[in-house]
Amino acid sequence: MRRQSRMIIFGLLSGLLAAGSVHAQMNPEVAALQQRWAEVNYLLKGKSQIEAFNTLIEDARKVTDADGTNAEAWIWSGIIRSSYAGAKGGLGALSAAKAAKADLEKGMTIDAEALDGSAYTSLGVLYLNVPGWPVGFGDEEKGVEYLKKGLELSPSGIDSNYFYAEYLFKEDAFAESARYLNRALNAPSRPGRELADEGRHGEIEAMLQEIDVKS
């Protein structure tokens, strides 16, 4: 795999979450984290984005402190920390990535299939983007394994397909990547996730354009 010298991370972690009935049943405090994440991830840039993610990390901590048995809360805490690490960049983001991993794993111990297996996809992205030993916990084999498990649990999901396509793109497997990108583009819309869907669609279309140039 073509590794970059810095942490790439994770423009991620848009709704690693199924729409519809899952959204309707979500704890209101977790739903608020989810909505604020989309605003910070897609509407803010630079220092203001990093500061907003810092605030959102604290908000997520309050939610998990209030109910430590809510798998969705832990998963969204991990997603938020991952996104903060991506916005911050570099080795200075490694502690946030490690905290994200711990939160996602905590959510999985409660309910590994919560949010249609979002924790698997999120962990896959972390393992693929964090530096490997001795600096970090990055591991390509584990990353791909987790991405595939996320796809198994959410075969038509926008994020599960997008992040597997992103991995294939980085491996120069452009035709296969385009196949998964088109699956992501045609994924069902997610009620209440309009901003996240719009942002992800933009990322999908940008990658498809890159594939057209490279192919």
9-32 pLDDT, tens per residue? 444 433 333 332 344 478 999 999
Lowest mean pLDDT among 42-46, 89-93, 138-142, 193-197: 89-93
| Rounded-to-integer distance, Cα 174 and Cα 178, Å | 6
List the structure tokens of 164: 């597997």
Domain membership flag for residue 41: yes
CATH of the domain at 96: 1.25.40
Let me know if residue 103 belongs to a domain.
yes
Task: List beta partners, residue 181.
Answer: none
- Residue type for position 139: D
Give the distance, in angstroms, between the CA of residue 104 and the centroid of all CA atoms in the same chain: 11
Predicted TM-score (pTM) of the model is 0.89
- Specify the residue for token string 């045609």: 186
Radius of gyration of the chain (CA): 16
**Quick one: tokens of 11?**
């423009």
Tell me phi and psi for residue 90, to 5 degrees: 70, 180
State how many domains the chain has. 1
Secondary structure of 115-173 in the HEC alphabet?
Answer: HHHHHHHHHHHHHHHCCECCCCCECHHHHHHHHHHHHHHCCCCHHHHHHHHHHHHHCCC
Task: Establish if 3 belongs to a structural domain.
Answer: no
Out of 11-15, 146-150, 190-194, give the one with best mean pLDDT.
146-150
Write down the pLDDT at residue 12.
Answer: 43
pLDDT at position 10: 42
pLDDT tens digits for 84-137?
Answer: 999 999 888 999 999 999 999 999 999 999 999 999 999 999 999 999 999 999
Nearest alpha-carbon partner for 153 in 197, 124, 112, 102: 112
Tokens of 31: 């739903």
In 3-state terms, the chain is what percent helix, strand and coil (to 5)? 75, 0, 25
| Residue 76 included in any domain | yes
Is 42 among the domain residues? yes
**Is residue 215's pLDDT more than 50?**
yes
Q: Tell whether 164 is covered by a domain.
A: no
- pLDDT score recorded for residue 5: 34
Residue 202 lies in a domain: no
